[in-house]
């Protein structure tokens, strides 16, 4: 089909042109005297994105799943107990990994469409007076259901219980999009990847470890080799890696970090919130459909999981969108398979770009028999975006001072042309 594919899965996300250009580099000697400049630039930039001064970033040639394993195997021992909640496919998979590695998982099963159950966590931690629980796992953004959780609240539960357990957070689909504060929230291991908020292809696992977590290494007995953090630390200390790094992706990461710094993390978080609210308006006000997320407090600003009426298969809508309209939407996973489709709205995105997802999804739904009013989704999103102040610098929406500066420049240019 003519035209480019419109990618609206919640990862991998769209790769900006300037990042693609940055990755077109000749291969080089990753043992050269100059190579540490690249490594050190990346590590400094990652500390800023994690909002940490005390954490140590790590970059592996892997997916985020590799960093799940690194977080666990460098801190824990066989038979250790970890606390985790299951409310979506990715929180489930992290639990599955723990069990495969020989850990004892205290699982809190939650309704899919909700997030980390803070009160249950608090009660369990207070009752654990013997401190059997060695780590608490929390998925900040459950990509399968479009649910965000309160990580600051998990830290509060740990602190109120005076519990020494480590706090591990999956921020794969939230870092660089949704507010994340490694130091302020006392996170010990934060797991992410390159293909979401970093706007890169998949292939880099990105981890940040606290001093407390790194201090657990000598006593941890889980087996590790490729994901050994001490091997990585020793090589990184001199600007190198213990094995061949993913050079092209690393150059792309440098450019991504520049883009994040230029826009500013607070601005990026505000932009994602603003865009997500427009998508949610399309779903709930325009189409009169529901989100998988059960309450507003759970609404994710990076992905919206749209529930379909009974009798309509999500797989049919997704297939129609792809084959007829060249639009890629995310599918339902596990318990919600076939019941929904997902719109990813993270990374390099603006209102007009998102209109493609809204209009394409609407046409696919109409073709599959979903009784939505034609044009209603775009109308609702447009009404929201046009009626609410946008974050400074988003698309054509400029802050007052920027508009004034443009007006002054225009007036000066006009006067010069006349004079």
Model pTM above 0.75: yes
- Nearest by Cα to 280 from 369, 360, 343: 343
Phi, psi of 319, rounded to the nearest 5 degrees: -65, -40
- The strand pair at 204-209 and 147-148 is best described as unpaired
Write out pLDDT tens, residues 216-239: 999 999 999 999 999 999 999 999
Tell me what pLDDT residue 411 has.
Answer: 53
Count CB-CB contacts under 10 A for residue 172: 28
Tell me what pLDDT residue 392 has.
Answer: 74
Q: Which fold has domain 264-387?
A: 3.90.1150
Q: Exposed, middle or buried, 173 (CB in 10 Å: 0-12/13-18/19+)?
A: buried
Domains 17-262 and 264-387 share a fold: no
C-alpha span between 57 and 45 (Å, rounded):
10
Strand partners, 205: 60, 193
- Over residues 348-367, the mean pLDDT reads 97
**Percentage above 90 pLDDT, the chain:** 92
Size of the chain, expressed as the number of residues it contains: 419
Strand partners, 58: 207
- The CATH number, out of the four listed (2.60.120.1130, 3.40.50.720, 3.40.640.10, 3.30.70.2080), of the domain defined by the range 17-262: 3.40.640.10
SS3 29: coil
- Over residues 76-102, the mean pLDDT reads 98
Q: Is the pLDDT of residue 395 over 60?
A: no
C-alpha span between 108 and 124 (Å, rounded):
10
Tell me what pLDDT residue 159 has.
Answer: 98
Whole-Å CA distances, 140 to 117, 176, 214: 12, 12, 22
User: Where exactly are the structural domains of the chain?
Assistant: 17-262, 264-387
């Amino acid at each position: 089909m003519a035209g480019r594919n419109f990618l609206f899965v919640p990862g991998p996300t769209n790769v900006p042109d300037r990042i693609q250009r940055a990755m077109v580099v000749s291969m080089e000697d990753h043992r050269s005297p100059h190579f540490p400049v690249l490594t050190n630039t990346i590590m400094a930039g990652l500390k800023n994105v994690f909002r940490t001064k005390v954490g140590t970033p790590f970059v592996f040639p892997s997916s985020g799943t590799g960093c799940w394993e690194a977080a666990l195997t460098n801190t824990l021992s066989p038979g250790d107990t970890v606390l985790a909640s299951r409310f979506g496919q990715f929180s489930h998979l992290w639990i599955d990994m723990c069990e495969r590695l020989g850990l004892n998982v205290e699982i809190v099963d939650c309704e899919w469409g909700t997030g980390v159950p803070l009160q249950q966590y608090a009660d369990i931690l207070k009752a654990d007076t013997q401190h059997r629980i060695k780590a608490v796992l929390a998925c900040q953004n459950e990509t399968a259901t479009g649910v965000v959780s309160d990580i600051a609240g998990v830290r509060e539960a740990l602190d109120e219980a005076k519990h020494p357990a480590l706090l591990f957070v999956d921020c794969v689909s939230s870092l660089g999009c949704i507010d994340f504060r490694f130091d302020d929230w006392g996170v010990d291991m934060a797991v992410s990847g390159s293909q979401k908020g970093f706007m890169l292809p998949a292939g880099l696992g990105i981890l940040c470890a606290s001093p407390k977590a790194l201090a657990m290494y000598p006593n941890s007995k889980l087996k590790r080799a490729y994901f050994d953090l001490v091997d990585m630390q020793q090589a990184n200390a001199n600007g190198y890696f213990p094995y061949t790094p993913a050079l092209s992706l690393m150059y792309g990461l440098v450019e991504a970090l520049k883009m994040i710094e230029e826009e500013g993390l607070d601005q990026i978080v505000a932009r994602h919130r603003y865009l997500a609210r427009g998508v949610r308006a399309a779903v709930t006000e325009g189409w009169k459909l529901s989100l998988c997320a059960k309450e507003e407090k759970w609404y994710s600003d990076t992905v919206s999981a749209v529930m379909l009426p009974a009798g309509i298969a999500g797989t049919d809508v997704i297939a129609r969108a792809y084959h007829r309209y060249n639009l890629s939407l995310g599918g339902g996973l596990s318990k919600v398979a076939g019941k929904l489709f997902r719109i990813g709205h993270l990374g390099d995105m603006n209102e007009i770009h998102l209109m493609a997802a809204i209009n394409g999804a609407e046409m696919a739904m109409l073709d599959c028999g979903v009784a939505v009013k034609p044009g209603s989704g775009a109308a609702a999103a447009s009404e929201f975006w046009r009626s609410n102040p946008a974050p400074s610098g988003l698309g054509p929406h400029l802050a007052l001072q920027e508009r004034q500066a443009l007006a002054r420049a225009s007036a000066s240019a006009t006067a010069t042309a006349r004079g």
